[in-house]
Amino acid sequence: MKIDRFSGGSLGTNCYFLTDEETGQIAVIDPGFVSGRMERYLAQAGASNVVLCLLTHGHFDHIGGVDRLRELTGAKICLPRGDAAFPADPSLNLGSMLAPGTDCRFRPDRLLDDGDTVRLGNLSIRTLHTPGHTAGSSSFVAGDALFSGDTLMEGSVGRTDFPTGSWGQMASSLKKLAALSGNYRVYPGHGESTTLEEEKKFNPFLKDAAGESGS
């Protein structure tokens, strides 16, 4: 399993290319943009090897490059069910607030629910519904990697004051992540990667959740 990160867009969003090295198949996670560097990567890796696009939630800075990625690769687009209305609604995807004129409309190939799995070559990727940042926000687990979107970040968590956000749901989602067994490498939607154990120790939000889940 190989993970490559591209950061860009107006909000410094992380986009990840997850590769099953045994088969060469690739999943792209949260393509909020498609840069020239990403297109060169696709050309080198083989665009036809990109078979999946996984979206952690429906905000414009995570979905803005979906149409271009689909055009280049034909990848199947997977979106959390709770954010199904976001691509077509700029008030939900925050385009009207933060990126006027941005068109994020697309039709997903599959809507994901908690516990759903998708196959990437010989890898199994599990969906964890982790609402709070948005109603549909989800994280993805592949091997020892946790793609946490805007739920969990290094030293912090995502905002809950946007449409469909909820601090109560975020707190429950953090407890869910804190209860995971194993020291996952965390790949967030913004900022640097970290580990689940580091966040349990030093992230005040996850530290509180870990204490509550263990009590």
Q: pLDDT tens-digit profile of 54-76? A: 999 999 999 999 999 999 999 99
Cα–Cα distance, 215 to 26 (Å, whole number): 40
pLDDT band at 110 (very low <50, low <70, confident <90, very high): very high
Residue 19 falls inside a structural domain: yes
Number of domains in the chain: 1
CATH number where 93 lies: 3.60.15.10
Dihedral sign for Cα 179, 30, 32, 23, please.
positive
Cα–Cα distance, 39 to 36 (Å, whole number): 5
Residue 52 falls inside a structural domain: yes
Residue 215 falls inside a structural domain: no
Residue 158 falls inside a structural domain: yes
Residue 6 falls inside a structural domain: yes
End-to-end CA distance of the chain: 35
CB 120 within 8 A of CB 51: yes
Residue 131 falls inside a structural domain: yes
DSSP string, 33-46: ---HHHHHHHHHH-
Provide the whole-model pTM.
Answer: 0.95
Residue where the block lists tokens 């034909």: 74
Domain with 131 in it: 2-210
Residue 100 falls inside a structural domain: yes
Residue 166 falls inside a structural domain: yes
Give the pLDDT confidence score for residue 99 in this predicted structure: 81
